[in-house]
Amino acid sequence: MPQEDQYSSWVGLIYVFNLIVGTGALTLPAAFQNAGWLFSSIALIVLCFVSFLTVTFVIESVACANATIQWRKIKEHKVDESEVPLNPDSESENSNEETAILANRRRHYYHLNKKVELGEIAALFLSRTGHVLFFASLCIYLFCDLTIYVAASGKTIVNLSCKSSNNTENFTESCWEDSGVTRMDMYRIYVALFGLFVGPFTYFNVQKTKYLQIFTISVRWIAFSIMLSLAVFRLATYGQQGRPSLVNIAEVPALAGSSIYSFMCHHSLPGLIAPISNKQGLMSKISMDFSVICGFYLLISLTGSFAFETIDVLYSLNFMPTHDSGFLMKLIGMFLAVFPLFPMATSFPIIAITMQGNLKHLFFEPYGIERHGFFMKRLLFPSLAIFPPIITALITHDLKGLVEITGSYIGVIVQYVIPAFLVWSARRQTVKYFGISAHKYSSPFRHFGWFVFVLVWSVVCIVFVTVDLIINHS
């Protein structure tokens, strides 16, 4: 059945756009500058293409899952095949042959109208081992994501409350003059306070309201527009300040981690595309989304790389006001420094709720958790979702390292490997059911060579990043 709360395709594309362009985009300019502007530009375009390729795999997998669910209902005699409604987004085909009519009807089983999450798709098409590996990978990714949110929030508040410092990564110096309290002490206090005030929402069924989403989206894009404008203004006024090299292979891990992290939308994509009312040409429209996002990333990273001599791990901190800044610049600088807190504080409970749901699926059979009491359902799993990220953030404030690990390793699995195996398994199973190899929502990259390409690309990314990390830390 179609979703009740539907929206237009363009609204859906805006949601996808804002899902991709999140807080991770703030870590991109620093990695871009350090890895060399020419190499980074090429790498960013290639990573954008591979990410879009696997997005088409996810879309095809969702369509296959909908077809499989419909087919199983027919086999269980819950639905008569002749009564299955045709997909309204599909084009009609005129044929008088019975086999053609049957094949055409079965093609209509492939649709995106029912929300089918990746976990359900994995349960349909993967083995038990593959199912467990899927949930384990997704939980690790969400854990790292939550840790980055907590650490970034703590670091942001430290830079707002403590005295100005030329090195925002120096957490051993005093927070204030003639004070024995270091920036690290205050960072840990702020991390604890973040967990105290934001963490409890994880114990409830928190949902993003439309108005809260509109507010956070508005704040985000006002901030990004201001940062881009100020970087261009600096270039026009002071000339080139940054001197990025063409290529710096030593910084590839950070670039790969930031880039993969900045194109991540795969784990939440099914929930965003299901309510779209008109899904005609969906993949081509999403390709426009990715093209615009890639262009935006290149623009903000290139201007930042040449406008600033050095870039903070969180790009917004480069606009912190100084003592000699005018009132307007102090106001703008304070807004840019504060704004990451809004999306991080509102997204943290949602991601934590997603993580606890996946943890329940990992440890229990479907609906098995319902047999347990209040402690297991409402206390244990929410605590498992929020306390490990907060404890990890208390131990380290190294955002660069966290992003490298999240993007370069777990991100590769979630963004590349899982979609590839899901679509490969889905194709094999649905062909057995329907004898149909192509349908309206098939990925344009259907050739088996693309599946192999994604796996080889994943291995190359992991090996290359691992070698660089070993060399840099040896």
Phi, psi of 276 (to 5 degrees): -65, 125
Provide the residue type at 132 as one letter. V
Phi, psi of 176 (to 5 degrees): -135, 160
> Do 52 and 286 form a contact (C-beta atoms < 8 A)?
yes
pLDDT of 211 reads 60
Provide the residue type at 349 as one letter. P
pLDDT of 440 reads 85
> Do 155 and 361 form a contact (C-beta atoms < 8 A)?
no
- Cα–Cα dist 353/210, whole Å: 18
DSSP states along 259-278:
HHHHT--GGGHHHHHTTBS-
- At 176 the three-state DSSP class reads coil
- Cα–Cα dist 419/60, whole Å: 10
Each of the 474 residues of the chain gets a pLDDT tens digit; together they read: 444 467 788 877 877 887 788 777 888 999 899 999 999 999 999 999 999 999 999 999 999 998 888 888 777 765 555 555 545 454 444 444 444 444 555 667 788 888 787 888 888 888 888 888 888 888 888 888 888 888 888 888 888 888 766 556 677 788 887 778 888 889 899 999 988 888 887 776 544 445 666 677 788 888 888 999 999 999 999 888 988 999 888 787 778 878 888 898 887 788 778 888 888 888 999 999 999 999 999 999 999 999 999 898 888 888 877 777 778 888 888 888 788 787 777 778 777 877 777 777 777 655 555 566 666 666 787 888 888 889 988 888 777 677 767 767 888 898 999 999 999 999 998 888 777 777 888 999 999 999 999 999 999 888 877 776 676 665
CA atoms in the 13 A half-sphere facing the CB of 335? 15
- Cα–Cα dist 211/200, whole Å: 21
pLDDT of 81 reads 53
Q: If 0-12 CB within 10 Å is exposed, 13-18 middle and 19+ buried, where does residue 19 land?
A: middle
Smallest Cα–Cα separation from 58: which of 317, 307, 253, 264? 264
> Do 318 and 308 form a contact (C-beta atoms < 8 A)?
yes
User: Tokens representing 321?
Assistant: 């006001």
Integer distance in angstroms from the first to the last C-alpha of the chain? 56
Query: Residue 82: CB partners within 8 Å, gap ≥ 6?
Result: none
pLDDT of 365 reads 59
User: Tokens representing 50?
Assistant: 């591979």
pLDDT of 50 reads 95
- Cα–Cα dist 11/276, whole Å: 8
The full set of domains in the chain, from first to last, is: 9-77+110-473 (1.20.1740.10)
pLDDT of 156 reads 83
